[in-house]
Amino acid sequence: MKKIIFFGLIAFLLAAVWQLPLSIAQPYLEKTVKGLSLGPTSGTIWNGEAKEFTLNNNSLGEVNWKIQPLKSLTSFKLKSYFKIQGKDINAEGVAGIGINKQLSFDDTTFDINSDYINKLQKNAKLSGNITGDISHATLSEKEVPQIKGIIDWKDGALSSPIKLGPGNYKAIVSPLSGDLDIKLSSNEAPIDLSGDIKLIKDWTYSTNISAKSSEPGIAAMLNLAGKKQANGSVTIVNKGDLSPFITP
């Protein structure tokens, strides 16, 4: 009898939490998640919606979610279906967060306009759309992300710091024993691109990329970046350290 009462009480408390209006929990969520801001909200923690979802002062648009209890129980993570609809970003999939604050994404697709990327950095002016199909990813603070998926830059072009006409570029991303392997290719692009980039767990990287272009200006630039081969391509083999950009 005592066990029945105990589990009944637990079920009641869980139901009360899940049905808690989102407007009551909003201040706590914004305080807990650094850089998070939610616009007008409706619904509950279990099934909610925010008309404006802002992260680190960057508006992502409207977001709605629905917690998935079975997936949460079997994975020991709080998992939720989510959908983001914005001017420059659209995304949907299953997001999860563990006790250790590790984020995960499963069966997630996204479409990002290059205008959004241009807002985040001033070093290059991009155009085109970046789309992704991520089967699984885990993100932890200061650790190399573990991602399995495909990312496409469609009609991708640069207007600065150099001019690069539109083309299609693909990156197949795979986890590799704590490292990250990124295989590059291009199609109908001013640069014939192939090879890979390895991002090592200590935030160093290595490249082994073959690039070739029939456009004289681009070909001259590539010749400065690597070793020219007999077929006219350039092999770019390089190593570097990203850790200074990761550590606050």
**pLDDT tens figures, 145-180:** 999 999 999 999 999 888 899 999 999 999 988 899
Of 45, 67, 89, at which residue does a domain stop?
Answer: 67
pLDDT of 10 strictly over 50 = no
What's the average model confidence in pLDDT over 185-195? 96
Tell me, yes or no, whether 63 and 76 share the same domain.
Answer: no
Question: Per-residue b/e over 92-127, b at no fewer than 16 CB within 10 Å?
Answer: bbbbbbeeeeeebbbebebebbbebbbeeeeeeebb
Looking at the fold, whether 33 and 102 belong to one and the same domain comes out as no
Where does the pLDDT of residue 206 fall: very low under 50, low under 70, confident under 90, or very high at 90 and above?
A: very high
Strands 41-43 and 179-187, by their bridges, are unpaired
- Which of 87, 88, 39, 30 lies closest to 64, judged by CA? 39
Taking each continuous run of H as one helix and of E as one strand, the counts in the chain are 6, 15
Assess whether 18 and 87 both reside in one domain: no
- Check whether residue 132 and residue 229 sit in a common domain: yes
pLDDT digits (tens, 9 = 90+) for 78-135: 888 999 999 899 999 999 887 777 889 999 999 999 988 898 888 889 999 999 999 9
pTM of the predicted structure, to 2 decimals: 0.84
CB atoms within 10 A of CB 136: 15
The dihedral sign for the CA sequence 74, 151, 115, 220:
positive
**Quick one: 226 and 132 in the same domain?**
yes
Which domain covers residue 169, as residue numbers? 69-245
In Å, what is the CA distance from 26 to each residue of 23, 33, 39, 105?
5, 11, 10, 22
- One domain, residues 36 and 96: no
Tokens of 92: 């949907």
Q: Are residues 93 and 52 in the same domain?
A: no
- For residue 11, what pLDDT is reported? 46
Per-residue model confidence as pLDDT tens digits over 70-92 = 887 777 888 889 999 998 999 99
Please, are residues 241 and 203 in contact by the beta-carbon 8 Å criterion?
A: yes
**In the listed set 67, 84, 103, which residue is the last one of a domain according to the structure?**
67
Q: Which residue has the tokens 């969520």?
A: 29
Whether residues 156 and 98 share a domain: the answer is yes
pLDDT digits (tens, 9 = 90+) for 17-75: 555 566 766 776 666 667 778 888 888 877 888 888 887 788 889 999 888 878 877 77
Q: Are residues 95 and 213 in the same domain?
A: yes
